[in-house]
Amino acid sequence: MELIVITRPDYFVGEGQLINALFAAGLSLLHLRKPENDEVKFMLLMKEINPAYYPAIAIHQHHELADMFAIRRLHYPEKLWRITGEQKRIELFANGFHLSRSIHEWELPADTAFLDYVFFGPVFNSISKAGYQSITGENFKLTEKPAGLKVFALGGITADLFNVVKQMNFDGAAVLGALWNHPSRVLTEFEKMLKSL
């Protein structure tokens, strides 16, 4: 099972150094999600992160800055994916970008040709978003996954739920609240998660 870390939505002092430490501890893929959309703060954070880790970063906002930082991974929240035309997707795919998107209702995605993976959830009640309740039943199991498309569970996932996520037939988990809600224990929690995979 694979593990993806999603950043806190806000910017904070020392974030770049902490991201570097997560990569050094074994993180293989980070999703940089900053919905407040502050370009200056985004660029400052990217400059704090070791450029050696840029290939392992997917960005949710500021796609137009991807080339500046040699970022080749772009993530699309559901609404943004809907308004991104097929021609644009073809162009990005042809230019070597790795695309991913979020979905919040399970049905076989029809537009998987340009996608490496999708996030699906919330699978469990969200830790980071109050009132963001699970959309899956107790006995939920992923079936009929398109060939070559990975599906990552999102929402309320902690290390002790990794086995449940595996039983649900997900390829991995994307974590946010379980990691960042305890700022002083981020690295400890991450290492615990790696051991639980």
Query: Per-domain residue ranges for the chain?
Result: 2-196
* For the chain, the helix, strand and coil percentages under 3-state DSSP, each to the nearest 5: 40, 20, 45
Taking each helix axis from N to C terminus, what angle separates 15-24 and 186-196, rounded to the nearest 10 degrees? 30
Threshold 0.85, pTM exceeds: yes
**Residue 177 above 80 pLDDT?**
yes
pLDDT of 21 strictly over 90: yes
Contact 56, 29 (CB under 8 A): yes
> What phi and psi, each to the nearest 5 degrees, are found at residue 82?
-65, -35
User: What distance in Å separates the CA atoms of residue 25 and residue 191, rounded to the nearest whole number?
Assistant: 7
Q: Residue 83: exposed, middle, or buried by beta-carbon count in 10 A (0-12, 13-18, 19+)? A: exposed
The CATH class of 2-196 is alpha beta
d(CA 55, CA 70): 7
137 - beta bridge partners? none
| pLDDT category of residue 109 using cuts at 50, 70 and 90 | low
Amino acid at 157: I
User: Residue 58 pLDDT more than 70?
Assistant: yes
Amino acid residing at 135:
I
* Choice among 25-39, 43-57, 75-89, 118-132 with the minimum mean pLDDT: 118-132
What is the average pLDDT across 40-66?
A: 97
